[in-house]
Amino acid sequence: MGIRDLFKGKKKSEESASHNTPYYRIGGEMKVRELANSFYDIMETDPLAAELLAIHPQPLDRIRHVFFLYLTMWLGGPDDFQQQFGHPRLRARHLPFTVSPELKDQWMYCMRKAMFKTVDDLALAQKLLTALDQLAEHMINTK
Protein backbone atom coordinates (compact mmCIF):
# COMPACT_ATOMS: atom_id res chain seq x y z
CA MET A 1 0.00 0.00 0.00
CA GLY A 2 1.27 3.47 -0.90
CA ILE A 3 0.51 6.76 0.78
CA ARG A 4 -1.95 7.54 -2.03
CA ASP A 5 -4.09 4.63 -0.86
CA LEU A 6 -4.78 6.55 2.33
CA PHE A 7 -6.50 9.27 0.29
CA LYS A 8 -8.58 7.15 -2.10
CA GLY A 9 -9.03 9.38 -5.11
CA LYS A 10 -8.57 12.81 -3.55
CA LYS A 11 -6.52 15.40 -5.37
CA LYS A 12 -3.62 17.13 -3.60
CA SER A 13 -5.59 20.37 -3.16
CA GLU A 14 -8.57 18.48 -1.74
CA GLU A 15 -6.31 16.60 0.68
CA SER A 16 -4.83 19.78 2.11
CA ALA A 17 -8.16 21.53 2.24
CA SER A 18 -9.85 18.67 4.08
CA HIS A 19 -7.18 18.40 6.78
CA ASN A 20 -7.80 14.67 6.66
CA THR A 21 -4.33 13.76 5.44
CA PRO A 22 -1.89 11.85 7.64
CA TYR A 23 0.01 15.13 8.05
CA TYR A 24 -2.90 16.73 9.87
CA ARG A 25 -4.06 13.52 11.52
CA ILE A 26 -0.74 13.06 13.32
CA GLY A 27 -0.60 16.68 14.45
CA GLY A 28 0.78 18.80 11.61
CA GLU A 29 4.11 20.60 11.48
CA MET A 30 5.08 20.13 15.12
CA LYS A 31 4.52 16.36 15.11
CA VAL A 32 6.14 15.81 11.70
CA ARG A 33 9.21 17.75 12.88
CA GLU A 34 9.21 15.62 16.04
CA LEU A 35 9.01 12.46 13.92
CA ALA A 36 11.90 13.52 11.68
CA ASN A 37 14.06 14.56 14.62
CA SER A 38 13.22 11.43 16.59
CA PHE A 39 14.23 9.31 13.59
CA TYR A 40 17.66 10.95 13.45
CA ASP A 41 18.05 10.96 17.25
CA ILE A 42 17.55 7.18 17.22
CA MET A 43 19.95 6.78 14.30
CA GLU A 44 22.60 8.77 16.16
CA THR A 45 22.30 6.96 19.47
CA ASP A 46 21.22 3.37 18.79
CA PRO A 47 24.12 1.01 18.08
CA LEU A 48 21.83 -1.07 15.85
CA ALA A 49 21.80 1.84 13.38
CA ALA A 50 25.57 2.51 13.36
CA GLU A 51 26.06 1.38 9.76
CA LEU A 52 23.16 3.57 8.61
CA LEU A 53 24.50 6.57 10.50
CA ALA A 54 27.92 6.08 8.91
CA ILE A 55 26.61 6.75 5.38
CA HIS A 56 24.93 10.04 6.35
CA PRO A 57 26.75 13.36 5.96
CA GLN A 58 27.67 15.00 9.25
CA PRO A 59 26.49 17.10 10.91
CA LEU A 60 22.90 15.93 10.46
CA ASP A 61 21.28 19.39 10.76
CA ARG A 62 20.65 19.88 7.04
CA ILE A 63 19.44 16.33 6.39
CA ARG A 64 17.10 16.51 9.40
CA HIS A 65 15.50 19.60 7.86
CA VAL A 66 15.30 18.12 4.35
CA PHE A 67 13.77 14.92 5.77
CA PHE A 68 11.22 17.00 7.69
CA LEU A 69 10.28 18.79 4.44
CA TYR A 70 10.01 15.49 2.58
CA LEU A 71 7.89 13.84 5.29
CA THR A 72 5.65 16.91 5.38
CA MET A 73 4.98 16.60 1.65
CA TRP A 74 4.75 12.80 1.68
CA LEU A 75 2.20 12.88 4.52
CA GLY A 76 -0.02 15.32 2.63
CA GLY A 77 1.08 18.62 4.14
CA PRO A 78 2.61 21.66 2.42
CA ASP A 79 4.89 20.78 -0.49
CA ASP A 80 7.84 22.99 0.43
CA PHE A 81 10.18 20.09 -0.38
CA GLN A 82 9.14 20.01 -4.02
CA GLN A 83 9.22 23.79 -4.30
CA GLN A 84 12.79 23.86 -2.98
CA PHE A 85 14.26 20.67 -4.43
CA GLY A 86 11.96 19.61 -7.27
CA HIS A 87 10.43 16.17 -7.64
CA PRO A 88 11.71 13.83 -4.90
CA ARG A 89 13.09 11.19 -7.33
CA LEU A 90 14.06 9.20 -4.24
CA ARG A 91 15.61 6.26 -6.04
CA ALA A 92 17.80 8.53 -8.16
CA ARG A 93 18.81 10.59 -5.11
CA HIS A 94 19.86 7.42 -3.29
CA LEU A 95 21.75 5.77 -6.17
CA PRO A 96 25.11 7.33 -5.20
CA PHE A 97 24.88 5.37 -1.93
CA THR A 98 25.08 1.63 -1.49
CA VAL A 99 21.71 0.71 -0.02
CA SER A 100 21.64 -2.90 1.10
CA PRO A 101 18.75 -4.85 2.59
CA GLU A 102 20.53 -4.50 5.97
CA LEU A 103 20.62 -0.71 5.66
CA LYS A 104 16.95 -0.70 4.70
CA ASP A 105 16.22 -2.76 7.82
CA GLN A 106 18.20 -0.29 9.97
CA TRP A 107 16.28 2.61 8.39
CA MET A 108 12.96 0.93 9.10
CA TYR A 109 14.08 0.08 12.65
CA CYS A 110 14.73 3.77 13.33
CA MET A 111 11.50 4.83 11.62
CA ARG A 112 9.43 2.24 13.48
CA LYS A 113 10.78 3.41 16.84
CA ALA A 114 10.29 7.09 15.90
CA MET A 115 6.78 6.49 14.52
CA PHE A 116 5.51 4.66 17.60
CA LYS A 117 7.11 7.26 19.86
CA THR A 118 5.54 10.17 17.95
CA VAL A 119 2.22 9.07 16.42
CA ASP A 120 -0.60 8.38 18.88
CA ASP A 121 -2.95 6.76 16.33
CA LEU A 122 -1.44 3.27 16.17
CA ALA A 123 -3.53 2.15 13.20
CA LEU A 124 -2.39 5.18 11.19
CA ALA A 125 1.21 4.64 12.33
CA GLN A 126 1.07 1.06 11.07
CA LYS A 127 -0.37 2.13 7.69
CA LEU A 128 2.37 4.72 7.31
CA LEU A 129 5.05 2.20 8.26
CA THR A 130 3.71 -0.27 5.70
CA ALA A 131 3.91 2.39 2.98
CA LEU A 132 7.37 3.50 4.15
CA ASP A 133 8.60 -0.09 4.14
CA GLN A 134 7.61 -0.42 0.49
CA LEU A 135 9.33 2.87 -0.29
CA ALA A 136 12.47 1.82 1.57
CA GLU A 137 12.47 -1.52 -0.25
CA HIS A 138 12.55 0.41 -3.54
CA MET A 139 15.75 2.20 -2.42
CA ILE A 140 17.72 -1.05 -2.20
CA ASN A 141 20.36 -1.05 -4.95
CA THR A 142 22.70 -3.85 -3.87
CA LYS A 143 22.46 -7.28 -2.27
pLDDT tens digits along 57-100: 899 999 999 999 999 999 999 999 888 887 778 777 776 778 99
pLDDT at 15: 44
Listed in sequence order, the residues at least 6 apart from 31 whose beta carbon sits closer than 8 Å to its beta carbon are 118, 119
pLDDT at 58: 92
Say yes or no to pLDDT of 3 above 70: no
| Alpha-carbon dihedral sign for residues 89, 30, 112, 58 | positive
Between 11 and 18, residue with greater pLDDT? 18
Domain that holds residue 57: 3-139
Distance in angstroms (rounded) separating the CA atoms of residues 9 and 104: 30
Number of structural domains the chain divides into: 1
Between 60 and 19, residue with greater pLDDT? 60
Q: Is the pTM of this model over 0.75?
A: yes
- 103: exposed, middle or buried (C-beta count within 10 Å: 0-12, 13-18, 19+)? buried
- Condensed to tens digits (0 to 9), the pLDDT of residues 35-60 reads 999 999 999 999 999 999 999 989 99
Q: What percent of the chain has pLDDT over 90?
A: 72
Note the Cα 23 to chain centre separation in Å: 12
C-alpha angle with apex 119: 35 to 1, nearest 5 degrees? 90
What is the domain-level CATH number for residue 62?
1.10.490.10
